Amino acid sequence: LHLLTAEELLEPTAFADAIAAGAYPIDIHAASGGGLEFAALGDDHAYGIPFRSLVPCGLDNALVAGRGLSATHRALAAVRVMTISMALGQAAGTAAALAAAQQGSHVGQIPIERLRGILQADGACLA
């Protein structure tokens, strides 16, 4: 439902449905083995990752976490790291549990503020 872009990471976008935070820079290693594209972030720079990036288009009642989220090549170069993948997995698991508890609820339609509240209570950093 949302394609996360490098621009949203570099000029942090405040997402109302942010379910994880990251601060890892964009680093793209050349497939040929030589060269590196690196976009450093400031010391106090953090970005949010929206829940909508975990909801795949055309796949009913599913979530995709970790490196499978909806992101451009450049954005994925930043959010692909394990710490962010773990945070996305926590958010996806919590969202799935919320949907399962609300019989008949579609995982993409859970109350975002409730999800964010549970994640924060569990110690998650949401940006």
* pTM (2 d.p.): 0.91
- Give pLDDT < 50 ranges for the chain: none
Give residue 29's pLDDT.
Answer: 86
Q: Please, how many CA atoms are within 13 Å of residue 43, restricted to the half-sphere of its CB?
A: 0
Q: Distance (Å, rounded) from C-alpha 100 to C-alpha 35? A: 46
Give residue 43's pLDDT.
Answer: 79
Give residue 33's pLDDT.
Answer: 81
3 state SS of 19: strand
Give residue 108's pLDDT.
Answer: 83
- Taking only the tens place, the pLDDT of each residue in 58-82 is 888 999 999 999 999 999 999 999 9
Give residue 1's pLDDT.
Answer: 86
Q: Distance (Å, rounded) from C-alpha 102 to C-alpha 3? A: 27
